[in-house]
Structure 1
Amino acid sequence: MADIENDPVVVVGLGRFGTSLALELARRGTEVLAIDKRSKIVQSLSGRLTHIVAADATDIDTLRELGVAEFYRAVVAIGGDLEASILSTALLVELGIDDIWTKAVSRQHARILERIGAHHIVLPEQDMGERVAHLVSGRMLDYVEVDDNFALVKTRPPREIVGTPLGDTRLRSKHGVTVVCVKRPDEDFTYASADTVLEYGDVILVAGPIAKVERFAERA
């Protein structure tokens, strides 16, 4: 079985999001084929990305000539041109790409992309706005929504569970959340266990349904 994690990735659209994505993938050792119809953008990145081409990703013959159909994973990072975003995604579906990630600029745009076959939808501005709103409005140190109703929150332990082994706190039955990791001052994160005793000054990662982790973090 192929090592999917190291498979090359096609990135279509080299705006700020697409460029940042392509460069980070390349930095991490992933081979990237970057495509953008704007020759100036392609020229400006030619020294930083090994495989980059000025081409029209809304033309299926062009995509075939570039060998895109041979890729397992692709990202459509086009944001401003909704027609190009939708058409490029549809063509990748037609070419049989197994794992298609697409940037959307609105919920409506996202729904269209889902209907035509995109496997993953990314809403960068909206997702970041929601994350910052959670941090600004509460006592969370960080917040990551990992599913529609599940999140991982970085916070401080509330007083009620400090000094007691986690296994005795009945966190899951009382609050519906789980402490996954703990970080002592000046130390790295380690996995929490039933025997872990939290202290004031610790930082914890808590997982659970969004409403429940939010309420738990407010207890800190």
Structure 2
Amino acid sequence: MFGHKAAIEFGIIGLGHFGYALASSLAEAGKEVLVLDNNEKKIKQIRNLTDNALVVNDLSKETLLDTGIQNCDTVIVCIGEKIDVSILTTLNVISMGVPRVIAKAISQEQGNVLEKIGAEVVYPEHDMAIRLANRLLSSRVMDYIALNNDISISEIKLTDKVAGQTVLESGVRKKYKLNIIALEHEGKTTTYITPDLLMSKGDYIVVVGNKEDIRKFEEYLRS
């Protein structure tokens, strides 16, 4: 059908933001990349960087075999949002005998399933949030970054309202629906946030959540 039978270093399935950025970076680094997506416009765009970009209307095992993706040394499945498609596609690629299969996950539950079927798992949004948190804490350049219309990453300085409380006791997650992704205490930063982690006045935390929930938590700290 497609005729790509020679060995290729990397195969990428899915051209969302993560997949496109990954494919672009690898191709610009001189790596040979095979890219699959059902969006013809995205495939045309990526063809500026690699000739091995194919439009596929489905991700059945038969279609994947026809593309020759089983000849890749490493395949990255970048379909995090459609969980059922992500898992089935990853399983199909693994069953083809690809030496290394990496899959994007958007939740811990999805990641657990992908790991059980034999894939390496990456959490791009979570990892990016942690890197951003570290940058925010080290530079103090900005108070927040908007991820979309509703969700933001925000740096918050803690007051005596939560001093001496653990993360669990503070209600940051249960009451305000915010996830803490980093905490700085006396100049030292940790991204290993556990329910029993103690918070102190003057600490900085970086949270991810709804803008309105962040505002409510900040108001509580100031009240």
TM-score (norm 2): 0.56
Partner-residue secondary structure (3-state), 2:50? coil
Q: Does the aligned pair in 2 maintain the 1:77–1:102 contact within 8 Å? A: yes
Separation (CA, whole Å) in 2 of partners of 1:92 and 1:98: 10
Shift of 1:42: 1.4
TM-score scaled to structure 1, two decimals?
0.57
Provide, for residues 127-161 of structure 1, a one-character-per-residue CA deviation record: whole Å limited to 9, x for no partner.
Answer: 12223334434689xxxxxxxxxxxxxxxxxxxxx
1:109 aligns with 2:113: no
1:131 aligns with 2:101: no
What residue in structure 2 maps to residue 89 of structure 1?
90
1:218 has 2:219 as partner? no
SS of equivalent to 2:43 = helix
Q: 8 Å contact 1:12–1:57 — kept in the other structure?
A: no
Gaps of 5+ in 2: 1-6, 141-183, 190-223
> Could you say which residue in structure 2 is the equivalent of 1:121?
121
CA distance in 2, matches of 1:75, 1:30: 14
Q: Which amino acid aligns with 2:136?
A: V
1:100 aligns with 2:96: no
Structure 1 Cα separation of the partners of residues 41 and 118 of structure 2: 31
Counterpart for residue 29 of structure 1: 30
Give unpaired runs (5+ residues) of structure 1: 1-5, 141-213
Q: What is the percent sequence identity of the aligned residues?
A: 30
Change (3 A) 1:98 1:216: farther
Residue aligning to 1:204 = none
Tell which deviates more after alignment, 129-138 or 103-112.
Answer: 129-138
Taking the aligned partners of 1:88 and 1:56, their CA distance within structure 2 comes to 13
Q: Partner letter of residue 23 of structure 1?
A: S
Any conservation in 2 of the 1:75–1:102 contact (CA below 8 Å)? yes
Residue 103 of structure 2: SS of its match in structure 1? strand
Q: 1:51, CA displacement in angstroms?
A: 0.6
* Aligned residue-pair number: 142
1:17 equivalent in structure 2: 18
The change in CA–CA distance for 1:117 and 1:57 in structure 2 (over 3 A counts) is farther
Distance 2:74 2:90 in 1: 12
Tell me the alpha carbon deviations over residues 157-204 of structure 1, each in whole angstroms, 9 at most, x when there is no partner.
xxxxxxxxxxxxxxxxxxxxxxxxxxxxxxxxxxxxxxxxxxxxxxxx
Alpha carbons of structure 1 residues 14 and 139: separation in structure 2 relative to 1, 3 Å = closer
Q: How does 1:1-220 map to 2 (within 5 A)?
A: 8-56=9-57, 58-118=59-119, 120-137=120-137, 218=188
Amino acid at match of 2:35: A
* Structure-2 change in CA distance of 1:108 and 1:114 (3 Å): same
- Letter in structure 2 aligned against 1:218: K
Q: Distance in 2 between matches of 1:57 and 1:73?
A: 20
**Mapped contact 2:87–2:114 kept (Cα < 8 A):** yes
The amino acid across from 1:9 in the alignment is F
